[in-house]
Homo-oligomer: A and B are copies of this chain.
Amino acid sequence: MRIGQLAAASGVTTKAIRFYEKAGVLPAPARQASGYRQYDHGAIERLAFVRAAQAAGLTLRQITDVVSARENSGPPCQHVVDLLEQHAGSLERRIAELTALLAQVRRLGHRATTLDPAQCHPSQVCHVIPPSDGGTPSS
Contacts and interface: CB of A to CB of B under 8 A. Distances in A.
Identical copies of this chain, number: 2
A129 interface: yes
Contacts of A48: 131-132
A51 interface: yes
Given A77-B126, A120-B75, A49 B131 contact: yes
A21 interface: no
Q: How large is the interface on A (under 10, 10 to 19, 20 to 34, 35 or more residues)?
A: 35 or more
Interface of A: 42, 45-46, 48-49, 51-57, 66-67, 70, 74-78, 80-81, 84-85, 87-88, 91-92, 94-95, 98-99, 101-102, 104-106, 108-109, 112, 115, 117-118, 120, 123-138
